[in-house]
Amino acid sequence: MLNGEYGEAVRKAMEILVRIGEALGAPRLIPVTSVHVSGISVNNIGVEGVELIEWFARNGARVLVKRATINPMGFDLDGIMPRDSREWALQLRLLNAFRNMGFSTMVTCTPYDAGNRPGRGEHIAWSESSAVLYANSVLGARTNREGGIVALAAGITGRIYLWGMHLDEERMPTHLIRIVVKDDVRNDLYSGVVGAIIGSVVDGIPLIDEGYRVDEAGVRNLLAAAGAWGSLPLIYLPGVTPDYRDARSRCDTCERLEIDDREIKDFIERVGGYADENVDAIFVGCPHVNTSVLDYIMNKLEKCGGTKIPFYVAVGGHVPREYVDKGLRLNIRVVRGTCMVVTELSRLGLESIATNSMKAAFYLPRRHGVQVKLGELDKLVSIACGAHGG
């Protein structure tokens, strides 16, 4: 591949991996079974980024792995959000280039809900931080937090450098975290705050001690928040991470840390405080929600006659279009294939947003200058209903 026998695009992809692998001191390359490429919003990568991906597709790059997916883009698939026609055309060129290389164009940050779900011990190359944390911490697969172009190169060559999270010794826990909270501080919002605090203060591999359990939505929020507020690739979660018991038994000398209710509630105040009806919009789906959460939201809002406050729910492109249409009947904007963070938010004219996502709470003020308020999913739904008089 490096000699150019398989074409210029494959040669370039392999050169990227070899150069980075050598710089990191990796001894060799290993095969990967799955890739996930982030950074595909035209709002982020511009014309130059699109032309680079097109160059790979034009010069014969094709995916060599079983499963290859891409992250959300700058626009939703159905035109629910306003579109700039020139940028939309650019986004479609990019989707087309990925499709020609053999990628699934289901555009989602939860590829594990859309057929790209690697198993325990599989070596993969993913580049969306929340998905990387999910792959390592929930599925037991092995990936570093790769850059988008590295994940692309891994897909084209079917290889990644043997380094970091691919090695047993790098996956050993370094910090033992005790979460001491009352039962009412365990919902989807608070688990995200726990993730944000861990991401902010831990530089290593955290292991959360027995006694702290959250449901699937809480796990997703916790991991996504940790990825946004820090640079962690893996968190050991009791009852969730496949190798938890073994890792816990090796954590007696870990650095110890405790997080309590007070710290969690103070963090919320510092970020923007609790949500009320005085916001311009509600946003759920960072990371993208699956159809069971979407059903839950729609059933609740159906009962109270729909939402009065604009209510955006971000989902992957694999979610059936019928959800978009049903959402419109309830005044819910189900946006497939994008989210409020990667879209050009100024087109919506929003100044304040309520969310249950601590990842969104990190990016929305920094990228879009939007004020954020926080609430768990049930609270956000009741605000939406209450605003309708329901």
The residues that touch ligand F3S, with contacts defined as CB under 6 A, are 71-72, 109, 130, 224, 285-288, 314, 339, 341-342, 359, 363
Residue 186 CB, nearest distance to ligand F3S (Å)? Answer: 22
Q: Which one, 181 or 380, has the nearer CB to ligand F3S? A: 380
Residue 218 CB, nearest distance to ligand F3S (Å)? Answer: 15
Of 109, 111, 75, 116, nearest to 93 by C-alpha is 75
User: Which amino acid is located at 250 in the chain?
Assistant: R
How far is residue 163's CA from residue 173's CA, in Å, rounded to a whole number? 17
**Structure token pair of residue 342:** 């990667």
Q: Which one, 131 or 330, has the nearer CB to ligand F3S? A: 131
Q: For residue 249, what are the contacts with CB-CB under 8 A and spacing of at least 6?
A: none
Q: Which one, 268 or 342, has the nearer CB to ligand F3S? A: 342
Q: Which one, 288 or 368, has the nearer CB to ligand F3S? A: 288
51, β-bridge pairs:
none
Residue 40 CB, nearest distance to ligand F3S (Å)? Answer: 10
Contact 298/326 with Cβ under 8 angstroms?
A: yes
> Of all helices (H) and strands (E), which one includes residue 265?
helix 261-271
Residue 71 CB, nearest distance to ligand F3S (Å)? Answer: 6
Residue 293 CB, nearest distance to ligand F3S (Å)? Answer: 13
Helices (H) and strands (E) counted in the chain, each on its own, are 13, 13
Q: Which one, 36 or 248, has the nearer CB to ligand F3S? A: 36
Q: Which one, 21 or 285, has the nearer CB to ligand F3S? A: 285
Strand extents, DSSP E, 194-331: 206-208, 255-260, 281-284, 311-315
Residue 358 CB, nearest distance to ligand F3S (Å)? Answer: 10
